[in-house]
Structure 1
Amino acid sequence: MNGGAVSSMPDGLLDTGAWFRVEEAGSASGVRRAAERLAITLAMPEKRRADLSIMVAEAAGNLVKHAEQGVMLVRAVRNDDVAGVEIIAVDSGPGMADVARAAWDGHSTAGTLGIGLGAILRQATWSDLYSVPGKGTVLAAQVWPATAPAPARTSGLIRPLAGESVSGDAYAVRGPDERRQMLMVDGLGHGPLAAAAAQVALRTFGATPQGGPAALVEALHRALGHTRGAAVAVAEIDEAAEVVRYAGLGNISGAILGGDNGRRGLVSLPGIAGHQRRQIRQYEYPFPAGSVLLLHSDGVVERWRAEDYPGLLTRSPQVIAATVLRDAGTRRDDAGVLVVKS
């Protein structure tokens, strides 16, 4: 995961932010400064900026002192016309068997986020934490100007190929929770041309009038004709009917996790949006309460199994996405994960 300036998607789309490898004190300071700059850009009150600075410094310091392969994401989060700052700290250390005990002030467990965890959770407006012994820890924490909005039910993460500053993977979400529509896109290849194709897909998704997933994929196919092309998938959650409607073209993978079936794969048809396609088809799948929808690019391998992570599907979509990206994301390609909870 690479460092870089904090960036954001167009208005109405989710912010991707910037990743930082946190392995030494200097990199920890860089993360704190990036978070502070973002908070100033978002016009966050001075008191909340101070809380954010403490939280980021503690989280980054813990990664430097006690974690393995520690990385942090800094990005904006939005709810209507209010914006906050989110950090996601990820490590592949020994993990914690007792997260609640690790949150006590003064408690220390080598290789974990234990030291200072209490301070981090106090400064955060909202937080979530998941840890598995032998696999590592994921912490998501947000600071908002005032009271935190209701926890997000949809979130995702994007990581560019090592050495690249931009990613050809992207995602977007639109509509109310009870009728959300999600786009996952993987621009062909990587680098600036792949990122350009992804941005065309995002703009098209945001501007196309309401329609079902198949109609949206058809619109994306037409719009991407002047780019190198992309794999795309659109899902629509209908909470009243407890179903997911889905259409995909290319190598975006989708699965419904949880419930009686454990894992159910979604069908994407072969092709490249913008260049090659068969007739686009829309499929419908049961999506009962308590289910989790997972979409990801081919930068995430299929070997990941939810049953190896007890309790993970009850955590926030940010933490689920970060755990999948850490353990199933490849370093040889852009990687993107989008998680939706019913």
Structure 2
Amino acid sequence: MTGPGLIQVVDCEDVAWFRDGSEGARGAAAALGRRIGLGEQRTAELVLAVTELATNLTKHAIDGSLLLRVLRNDTTAGVEVVAVDAGPGMADVPAALRDGMSTLGSLGIGLGAIHRLADSLHIHSRPGLGTVQLARFWPRPVHPRVAGEPPVGGITRPISGEEVCGDAWAARTDNGVAAPPAPTEKAGDPYSSATGAPDWAALTGIRPPAAQTRTALGHNTSLRAERTGRPAPVRASVAGPGAGMLVMSCDGLGHGPMAAAAAQAAVRAFRTGTARTPEQVMEQVHRALRGTRGAAVAIARLEPDGRLLFCGVGNITAALVTRTSRTTLLSHPGITGHQMHQLRVYEHHLPADAVLVMHSDGLSDRWSHTDLAGLLHHPPALIATALMRQTGTRRDDASAVIAKSPR
């Protein structure tokens, strides 16, 4: 938080993954620092840190890779460096941060110097499993709007052999302005302006039975929830009065440029839209994806009072995770942009110590709360990277996004 009711959210643009030594990463870091106006001195410090991280991956790590990406808000832009490997891991991270710990002929500046150069450095390591390192570099002096840790972070990685990723994630704060009404349906139009699905009443002239109306459905699902213990759909979800936070996970169908085009269309619609509830946002994204391959999409709204509203269409895994539990959130079949059935929004309680996890099927969903229990104190982007390292597959585009309560 950077002020009363103000949630710090930054946009994130993945630039490139590097797996073959430090030269490519070093040159890309220099070009990136100059492009976003980081400044000559700050860019040199970024390049030095990237070179050390990449060299350490090459000389010490198993299956190491490094990601460069741009972080920006409405006032400034910076660079985030993510280094991840599958081992051997560090037995003592505080010792590794002390000067003089560099080995095998590296630059000798060590992680301690990276810690001093970066505006923030977070490391999670487990012997035998590997290490995730996340460092951020902002222009000096650091603007107060980016000094803290954002409550949302994620990561994407394209399928092996592709340079663009068909997965995406995004987050934004609620500006408190209600969404405009959906476009008015023309008389006789057999398609719903909200979902693009056939309006059977217009096609057949027959109204659905009373049990299928919105009110009756909401009543029936509430009764069913009481019997089964499962959360009931909230048919008319209402955004709270405080500064809420909206988060989206998107998996464009297939992979490659066409999938990436669908994912980026969803991101643009999400970021520029004025909808306040997940259902309204999903409708805006659905309209934006017409003419594309379509996508699986999940959208959540996190409220300061601890409520979480969730709406999912397609194969996005979503769960609420604490140190002791994992609660899976329900999505429904469909393809956003093509075939989307009746939207359902589910309301859950998000404990202050819990995180919301959403990821594409480029990650296996066969993980439990114990896999994340030791990570929950880290920034969301590091948690997402660690989850991808553990459960990701290189046979598909992959993405994960983590959100913490805005309270």
RMSD of aligned C-alpha atoms? 1.9
1:14 partnered with 2:12? yes
1:43 partnered with 2:37? yes
1:181-208 Cα distance to aligned partner (Å, 9 max, x none): 0111111111111111112211211232
1:255 partnered with 2:253? no
Amino acid at match of 2:71: V
Distance 1:287 1:17 in 2: 32
Distance 1:42 1:268 in 2: 38
1:222 partnered with 2:216? no
Aligned residue for 1:291?
354
Displacement of 1:141: 0.2
| Residue from 306, 313, 316 that aligns with 2:376 | 313
| Residue from 80, 85, 93 that aligns with 2:79 | 85
Distance 2:109 2:248 in 1: 38
Aligned residue for 2:170?
172
Distance 1:60 1:224 in 2: 38
1:312-331 Cα distance to aligned partner (Å, 9 max, x none): 11111111011111111111
Displacement of 1:106: 1.9
Distance 2:245 2:101 in 1: 41
Listed as ranges, the matches of 1:268-283 within 5 Å are 268-283=331-346
Identity of aligned residues (%): 47
Distance 1:69 1:215 in 2: 42
1:137-187 Cα distance to aligned partner (Å, 9 max, x none): 000001111236111221110101111111110111111694110111111
Listed as ranges, the matches of 1:324-335 within 5 Å are 324-335=387-398
Secondary structure of 1:221 counterpart: helix
Displacement of 1:311: 2.1
Displacement of 1:223: 2.5
Amino acid at match of 2:377: T
State the TM-score, normalized to the length of structure 1: 0.89
Aligned residue for 1:322?
385
Q: 1:309 to 1:201 in 2, by over 3 A?
A: closer
Paired residues of 2:250 and 2:360 also in contact (CA < 8 A): yes
Aligned residue for 1:202?
267
1:71 partnered with 2:65? yes
Q: Which moved more, 1:202-211 or 1:263-272?
A: 202-211
Distance 1:34 1:172 in 2: 24
Distance 1:205 1:44 in 2: 28
Q: 1:309 to 1:135 in 2, by over 3 A?
A: farther
Aligned residue for 1:34?
28
Secondary structure of 1:155 counterpart: strand
Higher strand proportion, which one?
Answer: 1
Distance 1:124 1:289 in 2: 29
Paired residues of 2:323 and 2:369 also in contact (CA < 8 A): no
Secondary structure of 2:287 counterpart: helix
Distance 2:330 2:14 in 1: 26
Amino acid at match of 2:272: A
Q: 5+ unaligned residues in a row in structure 1: which ranges?
A: 1-11
Distance 1:30 1:252 in 2: 33
Distance 1:78 1:277 in 2: 33
1:242 partnered with 2:306? yes
Q: 1:115 to 1:96 in 2, by over 3 A?
A: farther
Distance 2:393 2:94 in 1: 31
Paired residues of 2:154 and 2:380 also in contact (CA < 8 A): yes
Paired residues of 2:11 and 2:71 also in contact (CA < 8 A): no
Amino acid at match of 2:320: I
Amino acid at match of 1:140: L
Amino acid at match of 1:263: R
Aligned residue for 1:160?
158
Paired residues of 1:55 and 1:120 also in contact (CA < 8 A): yes
Amino acid at match of 1:20: F
1:61 partnered with 2:31? no
1:117 partnered with 2:180? no
The runs of at least 4 aligned residues of structure 1 exceeding 6 Å deviation read none
Q: 5+ unaligned residues in a row in structure 2: which ranges?
A: 1-9, 175-241
1:193 partnered with 2:258? yes
Distance 1:109 1:136 in 2: 18
Secondary structure of 2:376 counterpart: helix
1:341 partnered with 2:404? yes
Count residues in correspondence: 322
Paired residues of 1:155 and 1:338 also in contact (CA < 8 A): yes
Distance 2:353 2:367 in 1: 20
Amino acid at match of 2:328: G
Paired residues of 1:128 and 1:140 also in contact (CA < 8 A): yes
Q: 1:309 to 1:200 in 2, by over 3 A?
A: closer
Secondary structure of 2:14 counterpart: coil
Secondary structure of 2:399 counterpart: strand
Paired residues of 1:55 and 1:123 also in contact (CA < 8 A): yes
1:232 partnered with 2:230? no
Q: 1:294 to 1:61 in 2, by over 3 A?
A: same
Distance 1:234 1:274 in 2: 15
Quick check: which has more Rg, 1 or 2?
A: 2
Aligned residue for 1:4?
none
